[in-house]
Structure 1
Amino acid sequence: MAPRGETTGYAPMAKLTFGFFSFLLVVSTTNGLPLPPEMYYQAGNIRCLRCPAGTYVGVPCTTQDTVGKCFPCHTGSSFSEGFTGLDHCLNCLSCRDDQEEVRPCTATQNAECRCKKGTYCPLDHPCEVCLTCTESCPPGQELQFPCNSTSDSHCGPAQSGSWIIMVCVPILLILLLLIGLCLCKHLKWCKDRRSRVQMTENPDTEGIPLIYPCLVFSAETKKEDQEAIFRRSWDHFVEEVPMPKWDQFMRMLCLSPNSVNEAKENNRDNSREQKIAMLDAWYQQKSGNVNELLSYLHSIRLHTPATIIVQKLLQEGYYVDTN
């Protein structure tokens, strides 16, 4: 379990956050305004208000819709982001020897690390070790982009007359933009993305489906098996959603930073289980369905993964398409 915070007093930021939290509670109560559902957590049969960022639930409430005792996280070793119903703070990230700290861990946010100068780690990799940057380009090539903490050096053909490129490229981009706007207005596909498929000369461009499928359980699927079948469908989302897009997918599901961090911490060596735990946290909070997950994929332009997932679900026979 992550280390609990100090019980002798709040850090300054925790005090400020808790003061704002108390002010929000008083204003909402005085004006009769209900607090959003995510402000609460269940402590047995009692619904309690979450503790503010930088604290954890030391003692749950004993009266419905009130705050229990909130204890502060230990600055520099533990943290909690946003309002929380956890009974502990999360461990701060410790930078490896090949990394440097760019943001220290505080009571309300985790530390941030990056590869040291001369090394890098691509954004779409788990970054278990920093790689050495390419120091020089091959003969006949020149440096296009220098190495940074997330990308290696990029080399390209040596070119002369760079000023011509600097002048022509912006003009060409402006012309392409004007042509694109004229085509968009002429075809009117911008007004109804669901009623047209965008076609371009690039064969790799991903088309937008004419009609999004609406999946329901087949008549042969027993009602008592439906939740288990829905949970098994999560494996397809884990397989098809690209790693760089997963965090954006979770933000679309409105999953709290605490839930994301807790899923990663409890499954540090297993990225698949991390993702399954995040989907489980979302399901426990909102009790959604497979169509809701698919709609979020379409909203972030992951049409191809969404289509593949639908095909797999229909092949399994537990779902049918009503469209």
Structure 2
Amino acid sequence: MSAKYMVVSLLLALTIYPAVKLSLGAALRDRTARHVLCQENLEYPHESHCCLNCPAGQFVKEACTKPLTRGTCAACPYDTYTEHDNGLMQCLQCTKCRTDEEVTRQCSNTQNSQCQCKSGSFCSPDQACEFCKKCSRCKPDEETVKNCTSTSNTVCKKKIATSATVLVTVGVIIPVIVAVGVVLLIYLKKKLSFSNFTVVSCKSSEVVKVNMDDKNNTTLEEEERQSAGPLEPQQEREPFLKESPPVHSQRRRLIPLNGQESLKKSFDLFEELDINYHNRFFRRIGLKDNEIQGADNQSPADKMYELLRLWMEKEGSKADINDLLEVLFSLDQKLSAETIIHKAITNCDFVYEDVKTDCVAADIVTHHGINEKPC
């Protein structure tokens, strides 16, 4: 019985051993491939061995077949790069600068491109930079501690009034007060001196003088005219001054030379608007009171820029400088509107819609009476 049991056990062992050996061998190979250790920055793992990295500016086209050898490397295609020795199977894509950024370093096959905010704007490196913000300007009662850079905003601090400043201020204010007082005295004196005066009513055929102190008295000329008899009837003449009817002329529209970029650049020009009209202007262009109040902690120039940028985002492709100018005209801010139009054309950001040349022709005087230079 024991001999028969031993024979059966031997047959089972001979049957199971090859399968167990094969399974252990495969597991060992997988474990070796997974746990192969290669030198960092010098080698990369492939199957169960290490291959040497490809140099910067190249990538691994085909991995090596023998340990510690280099496979086939190929140069990075256009607009891709690798900055260091690597075992990458494809190169990295070059970074594209946004429209509000400028390129400080072009991309090559060994280095990525570098971008920074354009002059007059910044983006803090410790924040998500979705767009560049406009640099702040110090208020009149502040002084600049640090100028704005591409990565930091302007730093301002309150001015400290020195004794010299106080003396200068007093030395300026007192003479102004004295001068205003003198002008008022002269004005009052003249006003009193004209309490007795003669009103002259002029017509083509007669002159009548009336003494304001005694309306019942008549002058010598009037007595002589009465004694001479009645005058011949005359036709009633038109008054000397007539109120001219309002002139409704169609204003010339502006078109941007560089799309939304021209419109965004024109926002700085709207600092021309009197600060007392700011909130009415913002409401007329469709901004809500809470949006306007949200920018109250900024300087007037920064508030104008940020709220116009918000307006442009809300309007999208419909945003048009002509709509902003029409609001200024409706607020009776004609001088500000015409100054903005002149600067926008002079800066070569806009042209009139009916101008067929690339920019404003030289030595042409516009209907505003301003000689605009060519671009």
Q: Normalising by the residue count of structure 1, what TM-score does the alignment of the two structures yield?
A: 0.37
Bigger RCO of structures 1 and 2 (CA < 8 A, at least 6 apart): 1
Larger-Rg structure: 2
